Amino acid sequence: MNKVKVLIEGYARVSSGGTWDATSSATLIDTGKFKVIVDPGCNRKLLLRRIKKEGLKTSDINYVFLSHYHLDHCLLTGIFENATVFDSSVWQKRSIGGDLAGDTLPETDIKIIKTPGHTLDHASLLIPTSEGKVLISADVFWWKENEEGKVDIDKVDEFALDINALKASRKKALEIADFIIPGHGKMFKVGR
């Protein structure tokens, strides 16, 4: 059975001068056969410490999944030297790549769910676990540091490219998941 562990709880802080200090939630999925990192983020020291704490090295990671291409989510992708990298529609392993066939990560039961709005190509992963379905939603939901992590379909996202698509993605996420890991903030249980 799949195991999901948040390695880094994503954070987003804005200084008084308007500078951002942010990294995405970085999540490890262990399928029993594959080790998957979702959105490695950009805090290299912290990510390497957390991977080591799990008894892993960067070379042990088989897959990296990118929800979207904002740098706070994807900057560290290249540190996983043996990994095949996936997004919502393509894969790449070193210089070889191609189109993704189907809506699951290969040889897993992890579904790729298109969740546009924050970006047009944004995608999330839905992972069946013994505790329920976990959705790594990335920036479908996210909060700044010290902002209440209140789930609000209509919450403004200053970076969203299509707010109506984002609202639809938020509704979909809440319908299909038991737990949601946001792009920045604490994992939460979906209330029905």
Q: In angstroms, rounded to a whole number, what is the distance separating the alpha carbons of residues 181 and 185?
A: 8
What is residue 20's predicted lDDT score, i.e. its pLDDT? 92
Out of 3.40.50.620, 2.40.30.10, 3.40.630.10, 3.60.15.10, select the CATH number for domain 3-189.
3.60.15.10
Per-residue pLDDT tens over the stretch 45-95: 999 999 999 999 999 999 999 999 999 999 999 999 999 999 999 999 999
- Find out whether 13 and 22 touch, Cβ atoms under 8 Å: yes
Cβ atoms of residues 140 and 117 within 8 Å: yes
Q: What is the pLDDT of residue 16?
A: 82
**Confidence at residue 181, expressed as pLDDT on a 0 to 100 scale:** 98
Residues paired with residue 114 on neighbouring β-strands, in sequence order: 123
What is the rounded CA–CA span in Å between residue 103 and residue 30? 19
Q: Which segments in the chain show pLDDT lower than 50? A: none
CA 79 to CA 136: how far, in whole Å?
Answer: 21
What pLDDT is attached to residue 34? Answer: 98
- The first and second tokens of residue 143, run together, are 């909060």
What's the pLDDT score for residue 192? 62
